[in-house]
């Protein structure tokens, strides 16, 4: 499967918007313009089509991981994926999330006291 096809399928599966894709590439260490991103998404027969290199696909995938999981070095930041889940969730999910956070805080206090 070609890199462009993998890239498009991942974007569609995750419902990514143009501005999110740009942010994801930036998180992966690659600054692309909006027109360059559109060229990667264009069909092979389109005059603006640009073949995606392995380095571009790798930057996108690495950025996508950081986008959903958050920076490993900065655990205090809320990952974008969790933030989106909270914004789009029902009250039941938020109550469950609140209890999980409380349990994690208790466990953290217990390890700090040891």
Give the pTM: 0.62
Look up tokens 């692309």; give the residue. 32
pLDDT at site 81: 66
pLDDT at site 78: 64
pLDDT at site 87: 72
Let me know: does 69 contact 81? Beta carbons within 8 Å: yes
Q: Nearest Cα to 23, choosing from 71, 60, 75?
A: 60
Residue by residue, DSSP assigns the chain as --HHHHHHHHHHHHT--HHHHHHHHHHTT----HHHHHHHHS-TTSTT--PPPHHHHHHHHHHHHHHHH--SS-TTSPPHHHHHHHHT--HHHHHHHHHHHHHHHHHHHHHHH-
pLDDT at site 91: 72
**Predicted confidence (pLDDT) per residue in 39-55, tens digit:** 998 888 999 999 999 99
Let me know: does 24 contact 60? Beta carbons within 8 Å: yes
Which regions in the chain score pLDDT beneath 50? none
């Amino acid at each position: 499967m070609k890199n462009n096809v993998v890239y498009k399928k991942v974007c569609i599966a995750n419902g990514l918007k143009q501005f999110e894709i740009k942010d994801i590439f930036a998180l992966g260490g690659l600054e692309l313009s909006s027109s360059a991103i559109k060229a990667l998404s264009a069909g092979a027969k389109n005059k603006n089509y640009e073949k995606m290199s392995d380095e571009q696909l790798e930057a996108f995938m690495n950025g996508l991981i950081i986008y959903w999981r958050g920076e490993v070095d900065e655990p205090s930041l809320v990952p974008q994926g969790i933030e989106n889940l909270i914004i789009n969730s029902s009250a039941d999910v938020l109550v469950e999330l609140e209890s999980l956070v409380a349990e994690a805080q208790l466990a953290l206090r217990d390890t700090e006291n040891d």
